[in-house]
Chains A and B, each alone.
Chain A
Amino acid sequence: MKVLVCIKRVPDTGGGFKLTADNMRVDTTNVGFAVSPHEECAVEEAIRIVEKHGGSSTVLTLGPQAAGEQLREAIAKGITGAMLLEADDYEFWDPAATAQAIAEAVKPLGFDILLFGNESADACNYQVGVRVAHLLDLPCVTGIKALEIQNNRAIAKRETKDGWEVYEVPLPAVFTVKEGINTPRHPSLRGIMSAKKVPIEQRKVTRPAPQLVRKALKKPQEGRQLEILGQGVDAVPKIIEKLREVGAI
C-alpha cells in the first residue's frame, strides 16, 4: 500500500489572534506552528494503514522551508518519506492553485490512498482534496471518520446526525479525514532523533494566476461583558443563582 498524506502548517494560535499591520495575515511573531487537527489524524491514519498492510507513507506540504518542522514531526511519528512543495507565499495560494501543484507532484508517484484533512484549520476552504481527486480522476469520499482496506477496496464511513454512512470505493482513492477517526500518537524520542536524518524531497513551486484574492482579514464582533461571580468556593451561591436563571434547577 502506498499512502500519501497532505498537511498544512498553521499558526498555533492559542487564546487569540493578532493581525499584521496591513490586516493581510495572522501575525506569527512569537507564535508556534502546528498541523491542522484533521490532518494530524490523517497522518496517524496513514501510519496505521502501513503498519497493518505494509508499504510506505509520504507526507506532503505546500509551504515555506520552515514547514520542514511539520514534515519531520510526521516522520518522527512513523511516516516514511516527505515532500515539500516550497512556496513562501503559501498563505495566499487559493485552493485550485494548491490542488494543481499537489496533483502535478503526486501524479507520477502512483499512490493507492491519498489522505487530506476535511478542511484546513485556518482557511477552511473544504476543497483541496476534492480538487486533487478530480485532477487525478480518482473517487473521493469527504469527511470520513473510519477507514478500512480490504482486497484493494476501501470502506469509509461518515458520521452524520442520522448515523454512520458507509461508502465503498475501489483504490486508488482520495479521502478527506475528520478528527475523531483515531487518536494521534506522540512521536517517540528515538523517532524525533531519526527523523532529523530522513531527507525531504523539495521543489520550488510558483503560484499561478489566482481565482480568489484575499483583500483583508478582520475579527468578528464579540459582545460579552464579564461579571466576576467570586473567588473559589465563595462563588457557589452566585453560580446557583445563575443556574436558577436558566431553569437548570
Chain B
Amino acid sequence: MILAILEISKNALSEASWEVLTAARDLAQKTNSSVAALLVGKGAQALASTLKGVGAVLVADDQRLDSFIPDAFAQIVSSAIAQKSPKIVIAPGTETGNDLMARVAARLNLGLATNCTEFVVENGALKRVTRSNWGGSLLEEVEILSSPILLTLQPHAIPAQMSDGHTPTVEALPVALSEKDFRVRMKELIPSEKKGISLTDAKVVIGGGRGMGSAEAFKMLEELASLLHNAAVGATRVATNNGWRPHSDQIGQTGAQIAPDLYIACGISGAIQHMVGCKNSKKILAINKDPEAPIFQRADYGVIGDLHQVVPALVAELKRLKGV
C-alpha cells in the first residue's frame, strides 16, 4: 500500500495534495500496489467522499483538530502507519507537510526524504528518489534504506491529474491523543494587512540587488512599477541584509518564490540562492553593467549597462509615452 497524506486547507484539499495523489497513483501502478489516502482534521469526513481513484480513504476527523496541531497529526499518521503497514508514505513538501513528516519520522525512527522531484522504480520496487537541494538549484539522488519509505513531494514538481476512477471505501480511524500531543498548538491567528500587489501575485516584478547601492535608489524601481500594470518591487538578500528593503521583499531560497510573466533584475549578479526564487518567471530581463555577471547565463533578455542610467531613462520614456 502507498499511503498518501493529504492536507486540508480552508475546507478543501490543497493543490499540493492533488499532486501527492497523482504521485501516489503513479507509484502504486509501478510497484503493483494500491493507494490509501489519509485525511486528518476537522471536516475530513465530508471531504472523503470527494476523492476518486484511490482504493481507500482513511479519515481521522475530530473537533479538536481545527487547525494544524503538529504532534497530534503526527500521532495519527504514525498510528495509521503502524496499523496499515504501507510500503511508502508520501505527503506534500509544504511547510506543514515537512513539519508533520519530520515528526512522524522522529517518532518511528525512520529516514525521511523531503521535497522529492522524481522516483526511480526498478523491478516493482522504489529504488531511489531525486530530491531538491539548495532550494532546487541542485538535485540529489538518494537511496532510502529504512522501511517504510517516508517521502515528501516538492510542490509543482509533478502536475496534478484528476482521476475519475472508482469511489473508494471510507474508513474512520480511531483518534487516540494524549494531552502532550496538544502542547504545540496555535492559539491565535493575526490576519495579515493587505498592502498593494504582493510579489507572488504580480505579473511584473522588478528586483534590486547589490548594484542598487542604497535604500534611496529603490525609489526609481517603485516609480517604474507605478508606471506598469500589476507590478511589484522585490530585492535580493544583499539588499535586505543592508536594510535597504524589508525582508518581506526578499526573493530567493529564504524569501519569496515568484512566478511573474516578467522579472526585471536590476544590479543583481545572479547568486544561485536568488535565482531559485525567480526561476519560475516566464521571462527574465537582467540589467547589469558587468557582462560577466552570472545572471546573464540565466536570463532571457540582457541589458549591459548601469541601472542608475538605464532605469531613469526607461522611466522617462514610459512617462513620455503615457503623457504624464
B228/A242 in contact, CB under 8 A: no
Which of A47-55, A75-83, A124-132, A194-202 lies at the interface? A124-132
- CB contact under 8 A between A38 and B254, given known A96-B111, A226-B301, A246-B262: yes
Is A106 at the interface (CB under 8 A from chain B)? no
Is A187 at the interface (CB under 8 A from chain B)? no
Cβ contacts under 8 Å, B324 to chain A = none
A224/B300 in contact, CB under 8 A: yes
Among residues 83 to 110 in chain A, which have CB atoms less than 8 Å away from a CB atom of chain B? Answer: 94-96, 99
Among residues 172 to 205 in chain B, which have CB atoms less than 8 Å away from a CB atom of chain A? Answer: 183-192, 203-204
B303/A235 in contact, CB under 8 A: yes
Is A233 at the interface (CB under 8 A from chain B)? yes
B301/A242 in contact, CB under 8 A: yes
A226/B302 in contact, CB under 8 A: yes
B302/A130 in contact, CB under 8 A: no
Is B158 at the interface (CB under 8 A from chain A)? no
A163/B303 in contact, CB under 8 A: no
- CB contact under 8 A between A17 and B272, given known A213-B143, A218-B141: yes
Which of B18-26, B41-49, B308-316 lies at the interface? B308-316
A13/B136 in contact, CB under 8 A: no
A124/B305 in contact, CB under 8 A: no
For chain A, what secondary structure do more than half of its interface residues adopt (helix, strand, loop), or is it mixed?
A: mixed
B271/A15 in contact, CB under 8 A: yes
B309/A180 in contact, CB under 8 A: no
CB contact between A229 and one of B107, B188, B284, B301 (< 8 Å): that residue: B301
Q: How far is the CA of A119 from the CA of B97 in the complex (A)?
A: 14
User: Interface size for chain A: under 10, 10 to 19, 20 to 34, or 35 or more residues?
Assistant: 35 or more
Is A190 at the interface (CB under 8 A from chain B)? no
Is B52 at the interface (CB under 8 A from chain A)? no
Cβ contacts under 8 Å, A218 to chain B = 130, 138-139, 141
Is B217 at the interface (CB under 8 A from chain A)? no
Is B229 at the interface (CB under 8 A from chain A)? yes
> How far apart are A126's CB and chain B's nearest CB, in angstroms?
4
A211/B110 in contact, CB under 8 A: yes
Residue in A closest to B270 when the chains form the complex, CB atoms: A15
Is A193 at the interface (CB under 8 A from chain B)? no
Q: How far is the CA of A131 from the CA of B111 in the complex (A)?
A: 11
> How far apart are A57's CB and chain B's nearest CB, in angstroms?
21
Q: How far is the CA of A167 from the CA of B300 in the complex (A)?
A: 44
A167/B186 in contact, CB under 8 A: yes
Is A162 at the interface (CB under 8 A from chain B)? yes
Is B50 at the interface (CB under 8 A from chain A)? no
- CB contact under 8 A between A96 and B105, given known A14-B272, A37-B254, A249-B321: yes
Cβ contacts under 8 Å, A189 to chain B = none
> How far apart are B245's CB and chain A's nearest CB, in angstroms?
11
Q: How far is the CA of A155 from the CA of B39 in the complex (A)?
A: 29
> How far apart are B295's CB and chain A's nearest CB, in angstroms?
8
Provide the A173-196 mask, 1 if CB < 8 A to any CB of B, else 0.
000001110011000000000000
Cβ contacts under 8 Å, A210 to chain B = 111, 145
Which of B30-38, B56-64, B112-120, B159-167 lies at the interface? B112-120
Cβ contacts under 8 Å, B192 to chain A = 159, 161-164
Cβ contacts under 8 Å, A14 to chain B = 269, 271-272, 294
Residue in B closest to A170 when the chains form the complex, CB atoms: B183
B313/A233 in contact, CB under 8 A: yes
Is B146 at the interface (CB under 8 A from chain A)? yes
Cβ contacts under 8 Å, B134 to chain A = 13, 17, 121-122, 124
A249/B227 in contact, CB under 8 A: yes
Cβ contacts under 8 Å, A227 to chain B = 300-302
Provide the B284-324 mask, 1 if CB < 8 A to any CB of A, else 0.
11000000011111111111111001100110011001100
Residue in A closest to B317 when the chains form the complex, CB atoms: A236
Q: How far is the CA of A94 from the CA of B110 in the complex (A)?
A: 11
Q: How far is the CA of A179 from the CA of B255 in the complex (A)?
A: 8
B304/A16 in contact, CB under 8 A: no
Closest 3 CB pairs of A and B: A211-B111, A15-B294, A232-B305
Q: A140-B70, A157-B190, A169-B183 given. 17 additional CB < 8 A pairs? A: A15-B269, A16-B272, A96-B111, A126-B98, A139-B183, A162-B191, A212-B143, A217-B140, A217-B141, A224-B284, A226-B302, A227-B300, A230-B303, A237-B317, A242-B283, A247-B203, A247-B229
